[in-house]
Structure 1
Amino acid sequence: MHVVATAGHVDHGKSTLVRALTGMEPDRYAEEQRRGMTIDLGFAWTTLPGGATLALVDVPGHERFVGTMLAGAGPVPAALFVVAADGGWMPQSAEHLAALDALGVRHGLLVVTRADLAPPDAALAQARARLARTSLGELPAVAVSAVTGAGLPELRAALDRLTAALPPPDAAAPVRLWVDRAFTVTGAGTVVTGTLGAGTLRTGDTLDLGGRSVRVRGLQTLGAAADRLEAVARVAVNLRGVDRAGVRRGDALLTPGEWAPAQVIDVRVHPPTAGRPNGAGPAAGSVVGGLPPHPILHVGAAAVGARVRPLGGDVVRLRLERPLPLRAGDRALLRDPGTRVGAGDGGSAGLILGVTVLDVAPPALTRRGAAARRAADLAAVDLTAVDLAAAGGRPGLAGELRRRGLARRADLRRWGVDPAGAEPVAGDWLADPAHWAALRERAAAAVERWQAAHPLEPGMPVEALRHALGLPDRELVAALAGPALLVADGRVRPAGSAGPALPAPVAAAVDAVLADLAAAPFAAPEAHRLAALGLGPRQLAAAVRAGALLRVADGVVLAPGAVERAAEVLGCLPQPFTLSAARQALGTTRRVAVPLLELLDRSGVTRRLPDDRRELA
């Protein structure tokens, strides 16, 4: 199936054409039919000579319903642009053309209707001149009369050629179905409709609707039920357990986990070309400077108020009134709701402006000059890489990582960047190579500074290094260590180092303790002696980590090798032996003998018997 929006002219001309082409009435309301004015979106379909099915979205032409027109045209890849032979170019024509141009629509067909009432040549030439200066360019054209049927066969043949030239949709893409209508069907519940531009819907699918999990109860397309629908298609989705009051035009049905609702976005503003001689428009800077502070952003079927912050050049930051599921590369438009693209020769350009979304998760701008630096950074984004008409339609991975430094693979996908083929540095984290190399250097320097400031510590805590480098995840610290750093026991220290060297005062105090122990190896120094030497708990811990002392218990330290020496002494005793015998043989007190024997038990040197005597193991 192919979907085309009909736009460009007063309503009775478009609706009459749709009726003649499809045999269906696109105006659903009695008031629309009575007044000859389309108020809401209309839908009809037909089978083309080549066998393809074509669905038409008939959008309102009246200036009061421009928001509704944009809701219908936004998700549609091609336009049937209609002007009347007896009316020529109209204010509505300028308005619709400005919107299509802002959205970057490149595929379409020009139709001159009411050719039975006036020669079509003048209207045809006038419309072609204006279309040629926009994204639509030089469209094929057909003159028809819905009354006499003249030109309708040629129109059908032209539509066959148009649909054959449309780019193929991606049926494997995640679903983003913009809701353009919601209603209740007795016995079925809530039904929403929209244009499925990419992806596949199936009965039973679980989708996301505004943060709520919803189930697809049934599917229809063009009045027929289906179990599975692939893009591009007009679809009606029956939702299970959803109240009609909880769905509005502009909501979106989404594949869960594949979209990140964005409320702050950075976009590039495109100067208008519609209605300008030779396609020339105002400079980007002057266009941005002329933006209203609170325009409406139209994307898909959504219309959301926004607040504008110019960053520099053609780049602005938008803060939306509510989050939208957007991706980098999406094309949208900004409209000033207080004015209209008006009269005369093409209207007042600048009131409807196209934008390309560059970033849906931009960094905060907190420092002086941050806005200008951000604009310069985004100026490097190649517009052709994010143009929806270009292959892929998304920004490149290398450039995105260069701007972010680090990003998760899943987040990049949700933001609109394809991470395929990239090797993660840790978990699902991807990194810009230059940024990663700089982080390695900073990590080594940070650990060195920490060791200098904390000479008694066994290394820099992993969490402290994470904060120092501004890393979002602890696993990145371990990945950064590489050959220069070692991560162990929650600490980071230089690789190949058993720990920091003892400061000179601590080393001298340890030497004094070892001298005392040389004469009496198991007469551990008392607390007052350790205090006099300046060996508090931190200093003793550092000496133990360095291997200069052996910790037997809190405040009880002996020389390295004391375990082996104690085993030699106790081996000379009659087996088994008592605590008292061991204490006397070792020449020490119960303060030392009790924890020392327990240490020997844990080390497997001795074995404690049921009667509390011990023997060498």
Structure 2
Amino acid sequence: MTSRTSVVATAGHVDHGKSSLVRALTGRDPDRYEEEKRRGLTIDLGYAWTEVSGAGTVAFVDVPGHERFVPTMLAGVGPVPVVLFVVAADGGWMPQSAEHLAALDALDVRHGLLVVTRADLADPDPARAAALAHLRRTSLGDVPAVACSAVTGGGLDDVRAALAQVLGNVAAPDPAAPVRFWVDRSFSVTGAGTVVTGTLAAGTVAVGDEFVVGGRTVHVRGVQSLEQSVERVVGVARVALNLRGVDRRDVRRGDALLTPGTHVRTDVVDVRVELPDLPAELVVHLGSAAVPARVRPLGGVVVRLQLRTPLPLVVGDRLLLRDPARHEVLGAAAVLDVLPPALRRRGAAAARAGELAEVLVDGQGPDLASELRRRHLVRGATLRAMGVPVAGRPVVGDWHADPAWWEAQRARVPEVVRDHRARDPLQPGPTLEHVRRTLRLPDLDVVTALVADPLRVRAGRVVERTDDLPPAVERAVAAVLADLATSPFAAPDVERLRDLRLGRSELAAAVRAGRLERVAEGLVLAPGFRDRAVAALRAVPQPFSLGEARKALGTSRRVAVPVLEALDASGATVREPDDRRRLR
């Protein structure tokens, strides 16, 4: 959409007061069910919108106020950054007002407007003073306050003006952010199929986009925002998406559409909770999801939550915790680790709490250095899915390592070689697989990257380097590797090899020595070219053509064709019937 849209949740007080206010501001009825109209009680989430001078289009999510519908209220408030907090002049501060405020505080909502309704029935000042005192002690802090009457219309212009001012202070979210679109409704439309609605908090959704929901891949057939069909919409916005690839019964409130490769869908999470006496079981709320969880204290403020169903999480997420037995919002938990290790040894829980003490200190976000110190070795794709910013060059392929741990493993390789030679002197050295198992490494390429002088890899074994290349050949190979350091797939052509006096026998010796890797006859690249190719092709829309691959690799057809054939042979890529490929 070309103009900015803001989304505001209305919460805090008796339902007919909130709904009447939204109805008076927008001219639209947020109550969708006859029972809601008959009883004056909001049962489900309601939606309405209008144009507000100085703020553009403003959409309202009207949430239930009754204590029986707190989970529904949280589903509506969860993804929304601004709240219209409503109290009635003739009712004042109510128990549900306190519960709604506790939820907003736990969600760390920082932008809001207090509206005292029914000002035609009572003096609004006492209710306003009491409500401001409560709000001041929460994440909302000091908020502007306005009194109005939905019946007489008095003060509604003041509400609009104050709301425009509040919305003007809210920073626009990143349109390029990964999408985590929480579904609050799912239904079928004849001739269209599955439609889901929700609040897009950040990022962009467009027709044709691909998302993952509950392990399924879905495609967006159509996009609507405020009942208008659009090609794309940018958060924050109320959105309806027509999906292809999923049945309505397989996507429901609490599910989330995710940008592929982002967020970790997990049922075990370590969190920081600065709350005393947590119950053994509680409910975790995030976005529109509500998931029961078991609580395992690890030590201090660190707690492990075992979720009944997985949630898509990143480090730094803020979870709302609620005690369903006492119908009470307990507070918030900050996500520290979405891929925590199993705790099997005595004392492991306390050690784990100590490890996590450095995470999210003083409100800081996820930190690459601390993640690497704990995990030692992890793929960049995993870090990005966890919400951890990735910087620096990987040690090999997409693997990133803690520098101190990496050097310690490199120092252990010669020990493994010596121990193996002592046990089996007839072998030139241990296999790469033997070294991998001994050092408990995840990948043979990692072993190869750890091998350094005076060791080398030959015929799948780690051996002492006894057959160095002749000086002239070594200098020529070094020149080739220098060229490839800046352009990894700019393989030397016939003339370049001739200038360097690298003939067939010299190239074969360089390949045997592990200095170069043969891709095809007369075509060599630096060792590990397959990993570098896979990393480059991850940025290409899948599946991809030869031309798209050639562009991503920054090379010619002469090199791209055998490189892709090598990836096919290794199983890294799959060839489609139309000759396009995709990463496995």
- TM-score tier after normalising by the smaller chain length: 0.7 to 0.9
**Aligned pair count?**
464
Corresponding residue to 1:251 among 238, 251, 255: 255
State the Cα deviation string for residues 579-607 of structure 1 (Å, max 9, x = none).
xxxxxxxxxxxxxxxxxxxxxxxxxxxxx
Shift of 1:496: 5.0
**What amino acid is aligned across from residue 193 of structure 1 in structure 2?**
T
What secondary structure does 1:180 align onto? strand
2:379, 2:398 within 8 Å by CA — same for their partners in 1? yes
State the Cα deviation string for residues 424-458 of structure 1 (Å, max 9, x = none).
00101111111111111222322222222322221
Matched residues in 1 for 2:8 and 2:223: separation?
21
Matched residues in 2 for 1:383 and 1:165: separation?
27
- Which segment is superposed worse, 185-194 or 5-14? 185-194
Partner in structure 2 of residue 489 of structure 1: 459
**What amino acid is aligned across from residue 361 of structure 1 in structure 2?**
L
**Residue 272 (structure 2) pairs with residue 301 (structure 1):** no
Partner in structure 1 of residue 65 of structure 2: 61
State the Cα deviation string for residues 35-94 of structure 1 (Å, max 9, x = none).
000000000111111151111111100000000001001111111111111111111011
Matched residues in 1 for 2:320 and 2:167: separation?
25
State the Cα deviation string for residues 412-434 of structure 1 (Å, max 9, x = none).
00011110x31100101111111
Matched residues in 2 for 1:208 and 1:22: separation?
34
1:102, 1:270 within 8 Å by CA — same for their partners in 2? no
What secondary structure does 1:136 align onto? coil
Query: Matches of residues 258-407 of structure 1 in structure 2 within 5 Å?
Result: 258-271=262-275, 287=276, 290-341=277-328, 351-386=329-364, 394-407=365-378
**Residue 11 (structure 2) pairs with residue 2 (structure 1):** no
Matched residues in 2 for 1:157 and 1:428: separation?
51
What secondary structure does 1:487 align onto? strand
- Which segment is superposed worse, 76-85 or 27-36? 76-85
Gaps of 5+ in 1: 272-286, 342-350, 387-393, 499-617
Alignment CA distance shift 1:241-1:435 (3 Å): closer
Matched residues in 1 for 2:373 and 2:23: separation?
53
Alignment CA distance shift 1:97-1:270 (3 Å): farther
2:372, 2:401 within 8 Å by CA — same for their partners in 1? yes
What secondary structure does 1:444 align onto? helix
Partner in structure 1 of residue 180 of structure 2: 176
Shift of 1:140: 1.5
**What amino acid is aligned across from residue 62 of structure 1 in structure 2?**
H
Matched residues in 2 for 1:328 and 1:309: separation?
19
Query: Matches of residues 495-510 of structure 1 in structure 2 within 5 Å?
Result: 495-496=465-466
Shift of 1:252: 1.1
Matched residues in 1 for 2:65 and 2:454: separation?
68
Matched residues in 2 for 1:265 and 1:39: separation?
32
1:47, 1:53 within 8 Å by CA — same for their partners in 2? yes
**What amino acid is aligned across from residue 159 of structure 1 in structure 2?**
L
- Which segment is superposed worse, 488-497 or 62-71? 488-497
What secondary structure does 2:435 align onto? helix
Shift of 1:495: 4.2
**Residue 436 (structure 2) pairs with residue 449 (structure 1):** no
Partner in structure 2 of residue 134 of structure 1: 138
What secondary structure does 2:273 align onto? strand
Q: Compute the TM-score of the two structures, normalised by the length of structure 1.
A: 0.73
Shift of 1:150: 2.0
Q: Compute the TM-score of the two structures, normalised by the length of structure 2.
A: 0.77
**What amino acid is aligned across from residue 350 of structure 2 in structure 1?**
A
What secondary structure does 1:60 align onto? coil
- Larger C-alpha radius of gyration, 1 or 2? 1
Partner in structure 2 of residue 460 of structure 1: 430
State the Cα deviation string for residues 525-570 of structure 1 (Å, max 9, x = none).
xxxxxxxxxxxxxxxxxxxxxxxxxxxxxxxxxxxxxxxxxxxxxx
Shift of 1:260: 2.7
Gaps of 5+ in 2: 469-584
Corresponding residue to 2:37 among 19, 25, 33: 33
State the Cα deviation string for residues 113-139 of structure 1 (Å, max 9, x = none).
111111122111111111111111111
**What amino acid is aligned across from residue 353 of structure 1 in structure 2?**
G
What secondary structure does 1:4 align onto? strand
2:217, 2:245 within 8 Å by CA — same for their partners in 1? no
Partner in structure 1 of residue 576 of structure 2: none
Matched residues in 2 for 1:382 and 1:76: separation?
23
Matched residues in 2 for 1:454 and 1:330: separation?
52
What secondary structure does 1:426 align onto? coil
Matched residues in 1 for 2:206 and 2:286: separation?
25
1:177, 1:196 within 8 Å by CA — same for their partners in 2? yes
Shift of 1:497: 8.3
Shift of 1:329: 1.1
What secondary structure does 1:179 align onto? strand
Partner in structure 2 of residue 409 of structure 1: 380
Shift of 1:482: 2.3
**What amino acid is aligned across from residue 465 of structure 1 in structure 2?**
V
Alignment CA distance shift 1:437-1:125 (3 Å): same
Identity of aligned residues (%): 62
